[in-house]
Structure 1
């Protein structure tokens, strides 16, 4: 289908490591490549983290001199890719100004290129919660500016965008407890991001298909942010073991055999002002057809609480 699309048409694709691995077959990379972060994933398929990172690097490996790589300056692993990028490199960063790209200064998103810089919008005008959503917005704004999208349209889109289903999706508020569906979160690093997105106590629903990734860092973060965790799926034991190795004393750990049971247990454990988040850190294949089916079951279970 892409081969039949007019060359003037701009196409935005999100590519998995499996798809990126296959770019080697054609020795082609996209004209504009955006890399948001890097953390262990799909090690059951790639075998090692080195092999996984190598697959991800295909997104820039076959670029030409007139192509563009947009990299996350706040991710140490991604920063190390820059010397090997064949084309022009732009950056985005929450933590520091960048020579060319997007960054945050004085509470505003700022875009800078070789000629000038301009403010895009205030950070507090963005409706999506969490540092990761701000980082993703910086990446998107960088692309939009490169593509010469009008500044007024960029501002309108980023300040009106309320996210997509299954990615920290607000579901409901019941008896003072807010419920969020983050079923698309299939890595421990993504669950860490979800936990850090809230400034109140979290009851976390996590677990699922085992992709062979470690849970140690996520377990430490759970201890800092969660009131309780309800574990489901094949990795429940591994996650509980990882939590048990942390210096956590007050965290409640529960198990559930279905999504409905997990939501019921989470509701019992949550207090007014808390958030209940389905952020599994794992794939869904042990209990559900896909992450969409898992998220839908969560939303249906929450709907029955009202």
Structure 2
């Protein structure tokens, strides 16, 4: 009888302040800690709708299966729902097709995935207090452990750099969110770790808590198909700091302070700190104490003024987390940049080929050209999302660029706009990356640069910007 009871129930052993939970069926254990336990208590016995069943939706179901077995789970997705083998035998409901988000009266909580636009969420759901997400729950229960980073451009590089600076100085840290694994996959092992969280606007749009250390790098028009207007998109970004508690710190571009987004700055309860970069000097202000340091860019794999600004934000964040300035700067020089971000591919016949496939807006292409002023040829174009390209056209007309290799609908648009001005720049229209690289190789002078920096989304030809960048690399390596 005793053995039968042991085989049927979870046994909880208490050692000091830690609970070790041993699950007899799975032979798995997890060291519980207060924040994780509070999240589990909040979710237990709830009627939960997982909205969207991609990578993050699967992660949410896995977490609930392991830690909240008494939850009543429904999966909602517009597409057909196919459960991975690990969930075979689970009791759950499925909603698919047009009514996949269900009625909020039937649920206690919706855990929305980032791919579900708020435009798809009914007014009844939106006005309820039942709408959340992995990010919302992370910041509600773990905010003091989180360094959050967002921005239209630079967030992956900056988040990865912050993680590198911490780990290089002996700190326990994990990198998750929009980069790395979903948060719920990492939480069981996050007890003594700082969570470096890259956060997209889609992840931030449903949060009502902010990380104790928040970084907002920049805000440019992007993802406007997902939002009502640019201000709604910007508001989602600002959520990273709007709900900070007293004692938190939010880093924003130093030029914004007192000038840009004043209404949002006034709403922040945390301390706002400016970061920035001029020439080779990074700068930030902590409570009117000014720090500045000269960085030797020749020793860094990161190029461009925009990356110097990213470095400033990263160093400010880790100083707030307890690192010394000189220790952070020393670790900079061992950082390895992410692919597809001003990535040097190779040099062929004294022409350097640079992969900046991450560029999906005009401002990022401008930043890339500023980082490599010796660019003769730039490959531009892709999927048209209705973005204004006048700033890029103006910049190109005053630059030393000689050749535009143009692809997709945006390529055609840029060609039309360039045709309206007097310029010596030559235009080449192509249908494939192979043709683009071939044209570029024939027309780029020795000692100069050929760059892929499309200033447009990739969805007309590729699954994502990584596939586009990989195609560029393959074509360059074949030269």
Aligned residue in 2 for 1:98: none
One of 29, 50, 55 as aligned partner of 2:236: 55
Higher mean Cα deviation, 233-242 or 202-211? 233-242
Deviation of the 1:223 alpha carbon:
2.0
Structure with higher RCO (Cα < 8 A, 6+ apart): 1
Deviation of the 1:144 alpha carbon:
1.3
Deviation of the 1:169 alpha carbon:
0.5
Aligned residue in 2 for 1:182: 356
Aligned residue in 2 for 1:216: 390
Q: What's the C-alpha RMSD, in Å, of the aligned pairs?
A: 2.2
Distance 1:242 1:4 in 2: 53
Cα 1:132–1:115, aligned 2, differ >3 Å: closer, same or farther?
closer
One of 267, 276, 297 as aligned partner of 1:84: 267
Are residue 200 (structure 1) and residue 381 (structure 2) matched? no
SS in 1 for 2:225: helix
TM-score, L = length of structure 1: 0.87
SS in 2 for 1:43: coil
Distance 2:191 2:396 in 1: 47
Cα 1:50–1:167, aligned 2, differ >3 Å: closer, same or farther?
same
Deviation of the 1:199 alpha carbon:
2.5
Aligned residue in 2 for 1:253: 427
The answer as to whether partners of 1:37 and 1:78 remain within 8 angstroms in 2 is no
Rg larger for: 2
Deviation of the 1:224 alpha carbon:
2.4
Deviation of the 1:158 alpha carbon:
1.6
Cα 1:126–1:142, aligned 2, differ >3 Å: closer, same or farther?
farther
Aligned residue in 1 for 2:213: 32
SS in 2 for 1:207: strand
Distance 1:228 1:81 in 2: 42
5+ unaligned residues in a row in structure 2: which ranges? 1-183
Distance 2:194 2:478 in 1: 42
The answer as to whether partners of 2:242 and 2:264 remain within 8 angstroms in 1 is no
One of 188, 194, 201 as aligned partner of 1:10: 194
Distance 2:308 2:229 in 1: 30
Aligned residue in 2 for 1:157: 331
One of 157, 164, 169 as aligned partner of 2:343: 169
Aligned residue in 1 for 2:464: 290
Distance 2:340 2:202 in 1: 21
Cα 1:205–1:242, aligned 2, differ >3 Å: closer, same or farther?
same
Distance 1:94 1:204 in 2: 26
Higher mean Cα deviation, 225-234 or 252-261? 225-234
The answer as to whether partners of 1:203 and 1:277 remain within 8 angstroms in 2 is yes
Distance 1:66 1:169 in 2: 38
Cα 1:28–1:258, aligned 2, differ >3 Å: closer, same or farther?
same
TM-score, L = length of structure 2: 0.57
Deviations 1:152-177 (A, max 9, x none): 43122222324210000011111111
Q: Describe how 1:119-134 pairs up with structure 2 within 5 A.
A: 120-127=293-300, 128-134=302-308
Cα 1:234–1:83, aligned 2, differ >3 Å: closer, same or farther?
same
Aligned residue in 2 for 1:99: none
The answer as to whether partners of 1:216 and 1:243 remain within 8 angstroms in 2 is no
One of 266, 269, 281 as aligned partner of 2:455: 281
Q: For this pair of structures, how many residues does the alignment match?
A: 291
Aligned residue in 2 for 1:235: 410
Distance 1:57 1:109 in 2: 23
Higher mean Cα deviation, 109-118 or 213-222? 109-118
The answer as to whether partners of 2:224 and 2:230 remain within 8 angstroms in 1 is yes
Distance 1:80 1:228 in 2: 43
Are residue 140 (structure 1) and residue 314 (structure 2) matched? yes
Cα 1:80–1:282, aligned 2, differ >3 Å: closer, same or farther?
farther
Cα 1:36–1:248, aligned 2, differ >3 Å: closer, same or farther?
farther
